């Protein structure tokens, strides 16, 4: 249980904060003073430590580097106007982490290790949570196989870690998106629903090619027909068509079950907008655009929060939008930011006090 969990804490002698201004930091480049590390061995988690952020010593034969048993999460901590620290819906990330672990044949991380470890680490590095609007402390829990042996089989040892990175706004500008119909991110039966490292390695070539053509990211389509849309980069995607919002469903296990996606579904419904989770084809999207009923398109994710999509390119068709006139996306973004930054009441119990 939580009380029984032994975490040894070694504090850093000096804080790196003395040399850093937390305003407008780029995403994921700076790390706080401490990190959490735990080892899985002989069927149990042990050596739970919070210690100064530092490099790991590892063997070149480390299993994760060869066969990719590696998963992660992305969570954010905020400060309310009174300066109190909160973490947004971390229990949902904890549950998803173990879903990813199960798919990758990795051990479950106990709730007290994940949640209490995170709480103590964030508490210790609380002064790293920026207080400017759109800023936050990004929390990165991750696990990887740590056997030092190059044989293809599930590792017997693992490391679970948490590191913290203060961050400013992620993708600030509305994006131009290339609808991908050659490369594939995920197929039914695959690992699309897991936040597994391999999903990102395999997506980089498609994204690089889209960038060369002048786009920011790709919108993935299904592996079978390249007909149904899936998600964008590290974001789930919503299409406001008529007075409904439509987002791809999770049935096939090809897309990540985003915590921001779930949150936005709830907020849209509370705004009186009907939400449909169902297969959505690129043809239906283009038809709605041509009929003038496709009003807004946006991505959702912890890192980026809500990202406006100003252009979609599919074959020779370009769908472009004047995002300045958008109402739904703007309202969702504002509502969500107000809850996360403590300016409006948290009626759902989403903010977890540190």
- Please give the residue ranges that form the binding site for ligand PLP (CB under 6 A): 74, 195, 231, 234-236, 256, 258-261, 300-302
Q: Where are the beta strands (DSSP E) in the chain?
A: 8-9, 34-41, 44-52, 70-72, 75-79, 85-88, 136-145, 158-167, 175-179, 217-221, 229-232, 236-241, 244-247, 274-277, 294-301, 305-314, 317-320, 351-353
Phi first, then psi, for residue 340 (nearest 5°) are -65, -35
- Closest CB to ligand PLP among 36 and 186? 186
Min dist. Cβ of residue 302 to ligand PLP (A): 3
Min dist. Cβ of residue 90 to ligand PLP (A): 11
- Closest CB to ligand PLP among 161 and 304? 304
Min dist. Cβ of residue 160 to ligand PLP (A): 18
Please give the Cα distance from 59 to 236 (Å, whole number).
36
Min dist. Cβ of residue 95 to ligand PLP (A): 11
Min dist. Cβ of residue 288 to ligand PLP (A): 23
Min dist. Cβ of residue 261 to ligand PLP (A): 6
Which helix or strand (DSSP H or E) is residue 302 part of?
A: none
Min dist. Cβ of residue 129 to ligand PLP (A): 18
Please give the Cα distance from 144 to 100 (Å, whole number).
12
How many angstroms separate the Cα of 198 from the Cα of each of 68, 110, 195? Answer: 6, 24, 9
Please give the Cα distance from 92 to 120 (Å, whole number).
18
Please give the Cα distance from 153 to 151 (Å, whole number).
6
How many whole angstroms from its chain centre is CA 39?
A: 24
- Closest CB to ligand PLP among 167 and 234? 234
The two tokens of residue 144 are 């990887």
- Closest CB to ligand PLP among 146 and 236? 236
Phi-psi region of 305 (alpha: psi -120 to 50; beta: other; left: phi over 0): left
CA atoms within 13 A on the CB side of 72: 16
- Closest CB to ligand PLP among 15 and 337? 337
- Closest CB to ligand PLP among 196 and 240? 196
- Closest CB to ligand PLP among 236 and 252? 236
Min dist. Cβ of residue 257 to ligand PLP (A): 7
How many whole angstroms from its chain centre is CA 342?
A: 21
- Kindly report the length of the chain: 354
- Closest CB to ligand PLP among 174 and 258? 258
Min dist. Cβ of residue 206 to ligand PLP (A): 13
- Closest CB to ligand PLP among 149 and 250? 250
């Amino acid at each position: 249980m939580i009380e029984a969990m032994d975490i040894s804490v070694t504090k850093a002698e000096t804080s790196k904060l003395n040399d850093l201004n937390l305003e407008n930091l780029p995403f994921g480049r700076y790390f706080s003073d401490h990190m959490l590390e735990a080892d899985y061995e002989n069927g149990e988690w042990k050596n739970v430590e919070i210690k100064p952020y530092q490099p790991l010593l590892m063997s070149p034969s480390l299993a994760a580097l060869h066969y990719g048993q590696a998963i992660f999460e992305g969570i954010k901590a905020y400060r309310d106007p009174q300066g109190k620290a909160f973490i947004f819906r971390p229990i949902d990330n904890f549950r998803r982490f173990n879903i990813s672990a199960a798919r990758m044949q990795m051990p479950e991380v106990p709730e007290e290790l994940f949640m209490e470890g995170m709480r103590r680490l964030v508490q210790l590095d609380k002064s790293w949570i920026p207080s400017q609007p759109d800023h936050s402390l990004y929390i990165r829990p991750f696990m990887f196989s740590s056997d030092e042996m190059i044989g293809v089989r599930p590792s017997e040892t693992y490391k679970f870690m948490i590191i913290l990175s203060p961050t400013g706004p992620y993708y600030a500008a509305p994006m131009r998106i290339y609808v991908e119909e050659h490369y594939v991110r995920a197929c039914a039966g695959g690992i699309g629903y897991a936040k597994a490292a391999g999903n990102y390695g395999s997506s980089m070539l498609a994204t690089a090619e889209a960038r060369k053509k002048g786009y920011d990211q790709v919108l993935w389509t299904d592996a079978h027909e390249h007909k149904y849309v899936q998600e964008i980069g590290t974001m789930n995607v919503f299409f406001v068509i008529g007075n409904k919002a439509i987002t791809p469903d999770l049935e096939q296990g090809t897309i990540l079950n985003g915590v921001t996606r779930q949150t936005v579904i709830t907020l849209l419904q509370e705004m009186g907008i009907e939400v449909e989770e169902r297969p959505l084809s690129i043809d239906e999207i283009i038809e709605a655009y041509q009929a003038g009923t496709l009003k807004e398109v946006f991505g959702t994710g912890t890192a980026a929060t809500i990202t406006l999509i100003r252009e979609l390119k599919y074959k020779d068709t370009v769908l472009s939008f004047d995002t300045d006139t958008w109402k739904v996306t703007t309202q969702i973004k504002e509502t969500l930011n107000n809850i996360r930054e403590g300016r409006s009441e948290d009626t759902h119990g989403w903010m977890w006090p540190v």
